[in-house]
Amino acid sequence: MTLAETLKALEKAGSPGIKKIFINHGAKEPLYGVKVGDLKIIHKSIKNNQQLAMELFDTGNYDAMYLAGLLADGSKMTRKQLDSWAKKAYGSGISEYTVPWVTSESKEAMSLAEEWIDSKNESVAISGWATLSAIVSVTQDDDLDIKKLKALMDRVAKEIHKAPNRVRYVMNGFVLAAGGFVISLTDHALSIAGKIGDVEVDMNGTACKVPSVEDYLKKMKLKGVIGKKKKTAKC
């Protein structure tokens, strides 16, 4: 499938109602409003196509950028390319999911995440913290720097309430991910959650809520899934 053909398929699958929802979550024109389920159908018809993924992301079209993340293999992307994606990203779907998913497949993932969380650009900082969450979800504990992750969790406790709006959301998400995917960090995550208390984030009138780290980890314990890794961060 060519770029033009893919964009036509996205346009055909678009919905004004979904488009409105995406805009409420930070998306902007151009976009068609394609449900994630429909994006996955288009993805299956294309399979993996690295060149097309790069072309789709460069369009700036929200739906195309999301699809690009499903198509791309982050392990084949350079640091410069991944950094470019983080700087071009916007909206929760691209900054919090697409870029972190792809970056987590790269050997540069941890280095980029640490660089991005210090960015003055809110969207880039969001991708940084979300990439940390993606990393712990797919990387075996023996391959993680537990001491460094603990230090980053401590940083969240100190900085979260002063951080930009959506950055607070992904910082909280990182603590949850670390505690949920890394057994040795579960107790530390609960301790951090106790220090943080309630995290307030403006959800722009949507029904989304900030997850309670304590409540989610308790549910994961009951289900016996603490420490269970994902095959891929993409979903």
Note the Cα 21 to chain centre separation in Å: 18
Q: Is residue 235 very low, low, confident or very high in pLDDT (cuts 50, 70, 90)?
A: confident
Q: In sequence order, which residues have a C-beta less than 8 Å from that of residue 232 and are 6 or more positions away? A: 101, 105, 138
Mean pLDDT of 156-183: 97
Q: Helices 62-71 and 36-46, interaxial angle, to 10°?
A: 50
Q: In sequence order, which residues have a C-beta less than 8 Å from that of residue 143 and are 6 or more positions away? A: none
**173, 172, 104, 110: which is closest to 146 by C-alpha?**
110
pLDDT of 207 higher than 80: no
Neighbour tally for 180: CB within 10 Å:
24
Token output for 184: 């040795």
Confidence (pLDDT) at 46: 92
Contact 23, 57 (CB under 8 A): no
Confidence (pLDDT) at 25: 87
- Mean model confidence pLDDT for the chain: 96
Confidence (pLDDT) at 209: 87
Give percent of the chain above pLDDT 90. Answer: 93
Nearest-angstrom CA–CA distance, 18 and 34: 7
pLDDT of 213 higher than 80: yes
Residue type, 70: L
Q: Is residue 48 very low, low, confident or very high in pLDDT (cuts 50, 70, 90)?
A: confident
Alpha helices in 160-235 (DSSP H): 165-181, 186-196, 213-223
Confidence (pLDDT) at 10: 98
pLDDT of 204 higher than 90: no
pTM (2 d.p.): 0.95
Report phi then psi at 202, rounded to 5.
Answer: -75, 115
Q: What is the pLDDT of residues 23-46, one digit of tens each?
A: 988 899 999 999 999 999 999 999
Alpha helices in the chain (DSSP H): 3-13, 16-24, 36-46, 50-58, 62-71, 79-88, 91-92, 99-103, 109-116, 122-138, 146-159, 165-181, 186-196, 213-223
Confidence (pLDDT) at 11: 98
pLDDT of 136 higher than 80: yes
Token output for 218: 């308790």
Mean pLDDT of 218-231: 97
Mean pLDDT of 2-14: 97
Neighbour tally for 165: CB within 10 Å:
13
Confidence (pLDDT) at 72: 97
Residue type, 121: N
Q: What is the pLDDT of residues 58-115, one digit of tens each?
A: 999 999 999 999 999 999 999 999 999 999 999 889 999 999 999 999 999 999 999 9
Give percent of the chain above pLDDT 70. Answer: 100
- Cis-peptide into 164, omega within 30 deg: no
Nearest-angstrom CA–CA distance, 127 and 22: 18
Token output for 75: 């392990």
Q: In sequence order, which residues have a C-beta less than 8 Å from that of residue 177 and are 6 or more positions away? A: 132, 133, 134, 136, 137
Mean pLDDT of 175-181: 98
